[in-house]
């Protein structure tokens, strides 16, 4: 689904951030950078249930990711999609895998007692690449 | 309006990209990286009138920018705001200034005959910084 020409942008080794856009309660856009994983068919990222993005995605499952080549910002993809599943992450396995990818740590170092972590799984519906 | 702690992220010298989120015709989010300038009170960026983002912003003036520190991706700001003005850029002065900032060129090198360039001026309504 990701075009061959831009597959490196979502590769594990590339460590690109995704800037994720969601829809707020009044229909306005929100956006912020997230760690993500491309599993071959979904973009997965972690949230705590207290985050605005989590509440936004409960209300409206449509999402867009903007992902740039860290070596060449004129190469990027936009991935639009829909949240298809939310998985609980009680043992912080997923976020720890992301910590491994992005900061080389075996366990996510910023977990706080009481944080309820979930994995947001987004199925792409539309992908466009530039550069 | 930009907190002192994160003012460097929008400084000319930093050359950060902004990932701009807009609302599509069906209410869905769109996002992509853009060159921008902070003029002390607005975030300004260039578009051609043929772009989806331009049509989106004609319909819904609300916008969100996610801007990361290129040296430290764990520092970022989200700037939410509203498009307050659209200026024509017939002599490509503004986009050429952006080319100067980002790629060190005096004149924007990718202008094509027939491209109708405009400057989108966004007034921040809400800013949050992280890291």
Mutation target among B9, B19, B60 for the A interface, most CBs of A within 10 A: B19
pLDDT by residue (tens digit) across B73-122?
999 999 999 999 999 999 999 999 999 999 999 999 999 999 999 999 99
Q: Chain B: nearest CA to A130, how far in angstroms?
A: 10
Considering the four listed CATH numbers 2.170.120.12, 3.30.360.10, 2.30.110.10, 3.90.226.10, the one that applies to the domain covering A4-130 is 2.30.110.10
| Model confidence pLDDT, tens digit, residues B51-87 | 999 999 999 999 999 999 999 999 999 999 999 999 9
Q: Do B27 and A23 count as a contact with CB atoms less than 8 A apart? A: yes
> How far apart, in Å, are the Cα atoms of B50 and each of A77, A130, B59?
19, 16, 14
- Among partner residues A17, A32, A62, which is closest to B28 by beta-carbon distance? A62
Name the percent of chain B lying above pLDDT 90. Answer: 98
Distance spanning both ends of chain B, measured CA to CA: 17
- What does the pLDDT read at residue B103? 96
Domains of chain B by residue range: 4-130
pLDDT at residue A1, rounded to an integer: 84
d(CA B82, CA B41): 12
- pLDDT tens digit string along B63-73? 999 999 999 99
Read off the pLDDT of residues B15-63 as tens digits, 9 standing for 90 and up: 999 999 999 999 999 999 999 999 999 999 999 999 999 999 999 999 9
Alpha-carbon distance of B21 to B95, in angstroms, equals 20
pLDDT at site B1: 83
The distance from CA B60 to its chain's CA centroid, rounded to whole angstroms, is 16
């Amino acid at each position: 689904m990701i075009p061959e020409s831009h597959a490196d942008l979502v590769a594990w080794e590339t460590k690109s951030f995704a800037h994720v856009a969601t829809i707020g309660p009044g229909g306005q856009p929100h956006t912020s950078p997230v760690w993500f994983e491309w599993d071959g068919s979904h973009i997965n990222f972690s949230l705590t249930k207290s985050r605005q993005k989590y509440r936004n995605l409960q209300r409206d499952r449509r999402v867009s990711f903007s992902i740039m080549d860290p070596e060449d910002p004129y190469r990027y993809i936009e991935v639009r999609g829909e949240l298809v599943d939310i998985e609980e992450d009680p043992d912080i396995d997923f976020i720890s895998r992301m910590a491994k990818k992005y900061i080389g740590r075996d366990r996510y170092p910023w977990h706080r007692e009481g944080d309820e972590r979930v994995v947001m799984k987004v199925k792409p519906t539309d992908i466009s690449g530039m550069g």
